A and B are shown apart, each in its own frame.
Chain A
């Protein structure tokens, strides 16, 4: 039994937009706009994430709103991501073996979005907690998707079977 569960949510509707006019345009569509770069807000059945300063990802049914006519300085971003939700007691160890970001140092109450590299693939990660267990939402380019998924599940499998001796007082 895996200590980390993987859920493929690639087929969830999502859309993206970028450009200097993107934030105002989204607000005009009655979407909440995360104020801080690299942060996210919940939407009914989804979320909106601010990727850097001027790029946004909307996931869930609200993504349909982005089909509205564009405004100046707004450029649509076709999102064809592989999207995964990972959950489990050993998720932090998986993240430590696959990504150089210290996720545990993040303040989840600020709803951080991390643009990083995992197993050598550019990825967007939203860390969280669910039922007292760590979880995270990960998006990556779908052309890396299969390899990305295979690699993460390989590492997760090793962690599950790991016979790595725990050293005196050592914890991850």
Chain B
């Protein structure tokens, strides 16, 4: 029921909003949450419980109320207790079979004895029944419904910076923010509520001061989702994430009010006193007419005034404490409210329609005899608090259990992390103010702003938390975990079954594993464990608190990300030529060029045959391209590559293989000597960035007199290859093209400075042309134009892979893996162990005389092979055992055979021997070991100079 206008209410009564819930029309106001609008409209049941489908109403109204999860269109698990009401919303409760009002699932409550704690584990223990249980559980459980047609949202993520981040905008947080800002720090203050103020509900002079302060930025309706190293805290807002980097963090996150445990403590109308206060003060909603207050601290008695102001009749105050402090007792007496000290509620009973609590039974604490049965339509509980300490735990704070306040408090805080207020065990409003000031001052001083102010904060005179707010009952339904419908007996049984450690008990019973992540249940659960094992809460400890502290929507986690894409200068030429793209690391490369009416295989074969019989042009600008200059440039290359380069003649190139310290092949490329102290060399496409970093590291360590320059992006490169290639290039360059195989020349191509390297990767006369990136497209165009008369075709990565396979050339990363040594890959010839030093030399020397693990060999299927051919990664089988694997395989149009490379066991590599390969359908094919190259074995075509 809506109250008359309140002095500081958050709702705007001039803006009524209509919405639907469970098919019925409701109305509320701007500023309402969905739940406050529903309660204002008289709805008491907002959801159903997870396991037994029990009707549930608001419990905490504090942004972690599992009883009020709703489906809103494609958005599952909307937290109705915190989600602002929007006109036109159409909502449903998430956990119902049928409707909220009529849910056949509620019959499960009758079978609760058949659903003991650890039921899942016990059910799945039987393998035969596993599929049955899986299907059943999947059908019956789960919360919201995911709409797989939901459009991808690119929710922005941004970085933020501040000196002091204050988490929590209650009294202590406000005070801390103000103190830090007044000392000169730039402060960011984050609070999950729509307005600052915490339990003052926004109405305070402190709030006004904070909002007006020029050095304080306020993030409301946002939460600090986790704590990461170096004070990095993601602040999750509805429309974005701010990754806040702070120099110091003040955690003033407060505490979660905790429910008492008694039979049927989950009936609608039974809620935390703080929830009732929020409804009254913020939303001007009266959640009940006549209530029983279950108390165990001063907060309950302070709340009585709010209840009275809202016109709520308090039937009685039941206080768990034997001795109620005089001032509190006097306050109750002054209002004429009966006080039952040392008593508890043992059972709540529902109204006939099950939609609301109707009465409670009261007994002396520890006694079974009911001394009173009190009619009511609401029970407000204020029996204790649990600190919202997740961020402190994640930051590495050592927490200790304080018997004075019966809660965990920071024992030792990490550098730059501060705590204040309820999370610090300070509950009295005046003390929270001072504690915030103390922490804010200390945080600012930590950042270099001002001096730490000496502020004394009084310890609490009485505990705000009862150490055992739990009442057992023979008939159960005394819930400890509302998320998972876990009763007191469930935890006791779990402990009895041997799960007597807090982490084990959590996993077995699932306590604290629901949507609220134990915010209402963990403290009571560990108390149960402590009592059952004769321990103490402090000794039992808490479970590990991991990010996220609060659920972060998938729309945020999968929000905007950056996946850089690299394009060569000829990218648009490829696109215009019909390139079908494939990713190669961060690059986009043409896999092949589509030709209308031709299949992928035909296109690739056509490109390969163009190179073999005419001329082709491929963009190889993705190769890493590095330059090294200086008197010790050759010495550097000697050290990083396994071959020798000191004696490489100027104007010549040499194949280069790099190993890591363990002798594993890391990368390959070509080293070209342009001058005595000047080399230009390439790396693999995928290795370029890492190799440059590694070489820079070595150069720093070795301090040689040379410098490395990364030209990967600055140089375009293309490989012109085929018997007609020379004819195409002749008219475009001033370089004498009778240059020998493996030569390098600098000259002009199409009027721009170029480096020409005579290479043979694809097995034909070929030249790699490297030019500054800005000229790449022009040179490509000129070559394609000049090549028209020779039938030139651009060829893609797939054709190149086929052509190099015909030559038996390996691809690092495809024909090698993270354990392959040069010898295993057939690169013995490149290893020069007699050099003074190179990276990996020691390891290669150590294994030089030892048997190899595997050997790469060429293989060929028999001529006329029918049926499927092997694929990459198919296994070589010998005597029923795995004896190797295929690394490359293709149909060679030039040889009219299936050819490939495979690792086999030593002893299986003899030329003309054979081995079997198992295909995907488990059939076996026989392949013959052949010498490579498969094509042009004497390399005459690529070496041709005339």
Contacts of B222 in A (CB 8 A): 167
Q: Is A96 at the interface (CB under 8 A from chain B)?
A: yes
CA distance A93 to B567 in the complex (A): 27
Q: Which residues, 7 to 53 on A, are CB-close (under 8 Å) to B?
A: 18-20
- Whether the Cβ atoms of B566 and A147 lie closer than 8 Å is yes
Q: Which residues, 474 to 497 on B, are CB-close (under 8 Å) to A?
A: none
- Whether the Cβ atoms of B195 and A168 lie closer than 8 Å is yes
Q: How many chain A residues touch B (Cβ–Cβ < 8 Å)?
A: 41
Q: Which residues, 101 to 146 on A, are CB-close (under 8 Å) to B?
A: 102, 104-105, 119-121, 141-144, 146
- Whether the Cβ atoms of A144 and B156 lie closer than 8 Å is no
State whether A143 and B568 are in contact (beta carbons under 8 Å apart), knowing that A75-B629, A120-B562, A168-B196 are contacts in the complex: yes
Contacts of B912 in A (CB 8 A): none
Q: Is A78 at the interface (CB under 8 A from chain B)?
A: yes
Q: Is B238 at the interface (CB under 8 A from chain A)?
A: yes
Q: Is A77 at the interface (CB under 8 A from chain B)?
A: yes
One digit per residue, 1 when the CB lies within 8 angstroms of any chain A CB and 0 when it does not, for chain B 679-716 equals 00000000000000000000000000101010111110
Contacts of A2 in B (CB 8 A): none
Q: List the B residue with the shortest CB-CB distance to A104.
A: B161
Q: Which residues, 148 to 164 on A, are CB-close (under 8 Å) to B?
A: 148, 151, 155, 158, 164
Q: Is B290 at the interface (CB under 8 A from chain A)?
A: no
- Whether the Cβ atoms of B159 and A99 lie closer than 8 Å is yes
Give the residue of B218, B239, B705 whose beta carbon is less than 8 angstroms from that of A169.
B218
- Whether the Cβ atoms of A78 and B238 lie closer than 8 Å is no
Q: Which residues, 72 to 113 on A, are CB-close (under 8 Å) to B?
A: 72-73, 75-80, 93, 96-100, 102, 104-105
- Whether the Cβ atoms of B564 and A100 lie closer than 8 Å is no
Q: List the B residue with the shortest CB-CB distance to A158.
A: B156
State the Cβ distance, A140 to closest chain B Cβ, in Å. 9
Q: List the B residue with the shortest CB-CB distance to A140.
A: B713
State the Cβ distance, B180 to closest chain A Cβ, in Å. 16
- Whether the Cβ atoms of B161 and A78 lie closer than 8 Å is no
Q: Is A170 at the interface (CB under 8 A from chain B)?
A: yes
Q: Is A69 at the interface (CB under 8 A from chain B)?
A: no
CA distance A80 to B565 in the complex (A): 17
Q: List the A residue with the shortest CB-CB distance to B202.
A: A168
Q: Which residues, 179 to 217 on B, are CB-close (under 8 Å) to A?
A: 195-196, 211, 216-217
State the Cβ distance, B589 to closest chain A Cβ, in Å. 12
- Whether the Cβ atoms of A143 and B567 lie closer than 8 Å is yes
Contacts of B571 in A (CB 8 A): 146
State the Cβ distance, A121 to closest chain B Cβ, in Å. 5
State the Cβ distance, A145 to closest chain B Cβ, in Å. 8
Q: Is B221 at the interface (CB under 8 A from chain A)?
A: yes
Q: List the A residue with the shortest CB-CB distance to B156.
A: A97
Q: List the B residue with the shortest CB-CB distance to A148.
A: B564
CA distance A20 to B699 in the complex (A): 13
Q: List the A residue with the shortest CB-CB distance to B773.
A: A80
Give the residue of B216, B220, B707, B715 whose beta carbon is less than 8 angstroms from that of A19.
B707
State the Cβ distance, B214 to closest chain A Cβ, in Å. 10
Q: Is B772 at the interface (CB under 8 A from chain A)?
A: yes
State whether A151 and B562 are in contact (beta carbons under 8 Å apart), knowing that A100-B159, A102-B159, A168-B220 are contacts in the complex: yes
CA distance A99 to B712 in the complex (A): 24
Q: Is B237 at the interface (CB under 8 A from chain A)?
A: yes
* With A96-B159, A169-B216 already in contact, 7 other A-B pairs whose C-beta atoms are closer than 8 Å: A75-B709, A93-B158, A96-B158, A143-B567, A143-B773, A147-B564, A158-B154
A-B contact pairs, 10 of them (CB 8 A): A96-B159, A119-B562, A141-B714, A142-B569, A143-B569, A143-B587, A144-B564, A164-B240, A167-B219, A167-B222
In the A-B complex, the 7 residue pairs with the smallest Cβ-Cβ separation, listed nearest first, are A141-B713, A169-B218, A75-B707, A120-B562, A80-B714, A102-B161, A80-B773
Footprint of B on A, CB under 8 Å?
A: 18-20, 72-73, 75-80, 93, 96-100, 102, 104-105, 119-121, 141-144, 146-148, 151, 155, 158, 164-165, 167-172
